Amino acid sequence: MTEKSAELVRLNELKAFVSTKAGVKGLVDTKITEVPRIFHIPSSSTLSNNKPSDISGLNLTVPIIDLGDGNTSAARNVLVSKIKEAAENWGFFQVINHGIPLTVLEDIKQGVRRFHEEDPEVKKQYFATDFNTRFAYNTNFDIHYSSPMNWKDSFTCYTCPQDPLKPEEIPLACRDVVIEYSKHVMELGGLLFQLLSEALGLDSEILKNMDCLKGLLMLCHYYPPCPQPDLTLGISKHTDNSFITILLQDQIGGLQVLHQDSWVDVTPVPGALVISIGDFMQLITNDKFLSMEHRVRANRDGPRISVACFVSSGVFPNSTVYGPIKELLSDENPAKYRDITIPEYTVGYLASIFDGKSHLSKFRI
């Protein structure tokens, strides 16, 4: 088979899969024992992309930070110092005592699971292939026919304080918990922006005043059990187009961050939330805080549930222009990025999210 005909076969298989609107769960429900080719990582890159590096003896652990430790001025300084170190060196950290009740964390996980395990005909009503709707169910970023496909289904839900979602826009299976959880996440986002502002040595309200809290995109993933997890990925390596991402994961695990050229497991901690620095934060901090590549491995166990909340306005209208914060610049530390708007950045980001190249690097001066 020629390369051209092989690509045609792949596209036909891909279109057939997308047309079912049943997602990866639909495949698993047919009792498949092999992963279809459209999900296969190319054999030439399987080892480098799907196997963790040997990190034995390196003792690499994503920092865990107790947000309840900042009750005095001295304790607040210690807390800010820990966040500063994590944002500069890891781009990832986990937080405990973050203020979101454990019952709410469980409720949102169950709500995500309920929707994804709905009758397929119910889910198809919400099927869309882009982020231009306030609530959309899809599997992968299939409008771009990404190769390979990832072993997950998702729904996206966009809200913002100025224009909250109407309850009737959200499926009944997850309606109440999505609304409640998004409110808690926005409150936590406000606290994290204060701490990150202070970690930059700036006024605690500077990030909030820059409209960094203008919107929230919830990306709720469902990773069905995979019969051949070494052949595919739950999510390919990427960075996030956000200021920060607040992630809730269940206890199955699979999330990894690239640190010191090694894939390091972000081990689930009961009740914790994972915080990651996004591309926009790296840009406005002029590379002081780092947006790191991460991925999710496929797993025989499952389903795995995760809820990623991107603090960003995404493709929705936002005329604010962002560039490196002027207070961080000097003759010795000039601006490394040109000014952008978030919609401008996001359109290109979504078109090339899993191509293995940094979209942020395209905006370097």
Res 54: pLDDT: 44
pLDDT tens digits along 322-347: 999 999 999 999 999 999 998 888 88
Q: Do 286 and 336 form a contact (C-beta atoms < 8 A)?
A: yes
Distance from C-alpha of 341 to C-alpha of 315, rounded to nearest angstrom: 10
CA atoms 295, 305, 345, 82: torsion sign: negative
Res 211: pLDDT: 87
Res 56: pLDDT: 43
Q: Name the one residue in this structure whose structure tokens are 């030439």.
A: 44
Res 142: pLDDT: 46
- Return all residues near 214 (Cβ < 8 A) that are at least 6 apart: 160, 161, 162, 313, 318, 320
Q: Per the omega criterion (within 30 degrees of 0), is the bond before 148 cis?
A: yes
Largest CA-CA distance found in the chain, in angstroms, rounded = 69
Query: How many CA within 13 A on the CB side of residue 12?
Result: 6
Res 354: pLDDT: 65
Res 18: pLDDT: 85
User: Cβ–Cβ contacts within 10 Å for residue 71, how many?
Assistant: 9
Res 42: pLDDT: 78
Q: Do 136 and 156 form a contact (C-beta atoms < 8 A)?
A: yes
How many residues does this entry show for the chain? Answer: 365
The tens-digit pLDDT sequence of the chain (365 residues) is: 677 777 788 888 888 888 889 999 999 999 999 999 999 987 655 434 444 444 444 668 999 999 998 788 999 999 999 999 999 999 999 999 999 999 999 999 999 999 999 999 999 999 987 666 789 998 876 445 456 889 999 999 988 777 777 899 999 999 999 999 999 999 999 999 999 999 999 999 999 999 888 889 999 999 999 999 999 999 999 999 999 999 999 999 999 999 999 999 999 999 999 999 999 999 999 999 999 999 999 999 989 999 999 998 666 667 889 999 999 999 999 999 999 998 888 888 877 776 667 889 999 99
Res 130: pLDDT: 65
| Percent of the chain topping pLDDT 70 | 90
For 260, the token pair is: 């010191």
Distance from C-alpha of 98 to C-alpha of 109, rounded to nearest angstrom: 17
Beta strand residue intervals within 103-182, DSSP E? 135-138, 153-159
